[in-house]
Structure 1
Amino acid sequence: MSKDYPVPSGYLERETEVKKSRFIARVYPVSSRDEVREHVARAHQDYPDARHVCWAYQIGRPGSAAEAAMNDDGEPSGTAGKPILNVIQHKDMGDVLVIVVRYFGGIKLGAGGLVRAYAGAAESVLSEVGRTIQQSRVQAEVVLGFADEQPLRHWCDGHEGHIESIQYSNRVNARVSVPQARASEFAAFCDAQKLDYRLET
């Protein structure tokens, strides 16, 4: 079974209005709970006077997400985070966070109205955001000399590899992720450069 699945290709923001309440929806690609926290904190900073900052996310493959959560941020239970998450799941996207910021317009929407408004805001941004395919990746720990760092970076740039973290001591310790389809190429590169590496399967 293929592990590839669609994810948002980048950040997008859209605004809708329902009975004078403003709903500002943001979508982000995310791969960790820490990233979710950072984006939610930024929304609170960007809109400090907003009444509610509601959100939902799922990380991993749609239909069997490794992690998902939602938050109503003071709206009646089940009227904000859940409809946002339902739209995310309906769109069959993974690694996605949707935040909906609400400015109250003075007219109460009622529970059904809130559900429709938050779902509509999530729909507006998710239907427009670009999609890219998330390929399954493998992680590797690499120990190398300082002179080997540039060739490693060069290889990653040309082969969709990402250096996730790098630490310097008497040697360089790098954590690298590469598409699963390129794992054997990466191993061959490390062997040719005589690098000490360990692929995590």
Structure 2
Amino acid sequence: MKDSNQNGEKLYTTLGGEGFFEITIDRSVFYGYAKHVTEEKDAIDFINSIKKKHSDARHNVYAYVLKDTNTTRYSDDGEPAGTAGMPVLDVIRKTGFTDAVIVVTRYFGGILLGKGGLVRAYTAAAKGAAEDAEITTFTQYTEFEMRCTYADHEKIRYECQFFDVIEDGIDYSDTVLLKLAIKSPEFERFDTRISEITAGKIRAVKIGERFDKT
């Protein structure tokens, strides 16, 4: 989920891609699938694709959480209430990531697992799939541009090393256009520093924001 650390940096934790995990408990086979998604349509499409793949399975349990629309959904898909969908959802919540969907398919092995056994099994399959998808934290960066002379260009690039500025690109013409990014809490301080060393001639023009892998 999006949060902040002690340095005031905005963080965003989600899945790095897709994951899979398989576990067998008392002859019941559980397949866990996890994926990063940002739209509800993508989550539903993923769920339906797993249901189609395992159309002969007894249960296709799922849960997903979307940050921007504050959407949370889960389904026990025929398992006793609270033993399947909610444990899968709890993996997402307790691990602290968002914009993700997890589907756990169960092939019944003929032995009843009981409520506690089901909770443990669905939790294990969901957690394994999420870990395989690589739970990843991203940090918010502010994207900006600075137009300067060739002489000031060298001054700015020198200062960049002290602020961990990312250089996204440079356009050369009669002046130099620097396309840069910096951790958002550092943006104002860097802008002020550049203004100081260029006698107020150069200020940053904010372009947007993005999240980069920490």
Q: TM-score, normalised by structure 1?
A: 0.64
Residue 8 of structure 1 contacts residue 132 of structure 1 at CA under 8 Å; is this kept in 2?
yes
Q: Which whole-Å CA distance do the structure 1 matches of 2:108 and 2:94 have between them?
A: 27
Alignment of 1:13-52 (within 5 A): 13-52=20-59
Q: Could you tell me how far apart the structure 1 residues matched to 2:34 and 2:109 are?
A: 23
Which of these residues, 134, 140, 149, is aligned with residue 130 of structure 1?
134
Kept in 2, the 8 Å contact 1:91–1:126? The answer is: no
SS state of the match for residue 102, structure 1? strand
Q: 1 CA distance for matches of 2:81 and 2:114?
A: 12
Compute the displacement of 1:91 (Å).
1.0
Residue 98 of structure 1, CA deviation: 0.8
Determine the structure 2 residue equivalent to 1:100: 104
Q: Please give the residue correspondences for 1:177-192 in structure 2 after superposition, counting only pairs within 5 Å.
A: 184=205, 186=207
TM superposition shift of 1:105: 0.5
The alignment's C-alpha RMSD in Å is: 2.9
Give yes or no for the alignment of 1:78 onto 2:78: no
- Structure 2: 5+ residue stretches without partners: 143-166, 169-181, 188-204, 209-214
TM-score normalised according to structure 2 size: 0.60
Number of matched pairs: 147
User: Shift of the alpha carbon at 1:180?
Assistant: 9.7
Q: Which amino acid aligns with 2:88?
A: I
* CA–CA separation in structure 2 for the residues paired with 1:42 and 1:137: 35
Deviations 1:19-53 (A, max 9, x none): 00010000100111111110011001111101100
- Cα offsets for 1:91-127 (capped at 9, x unmatched): 1111111100000011111111111110111122223
SS of 2:22's equivalent? strand
Q: Identity over the aligned pairs, expressed in percent?
A: 32
Instruction: State the distance in 2 between where 1:33 and 1:137 align.
Output: 26
Whichever of the two has the greater Rg, that structure is 2
Which segments of structure 1 move beyond 4 Å, counting only runs of 4 or more? 134-138, 179-182
Question: Following TM superposition, by how much is the alpha carbon of 1:76 offset from its aligned partner in structure 2, in angstroms?
Answer: 0.7
Three-state SS of the structure 1 residue aligned to 2:132 is coil
Aligned to 1:118: 122
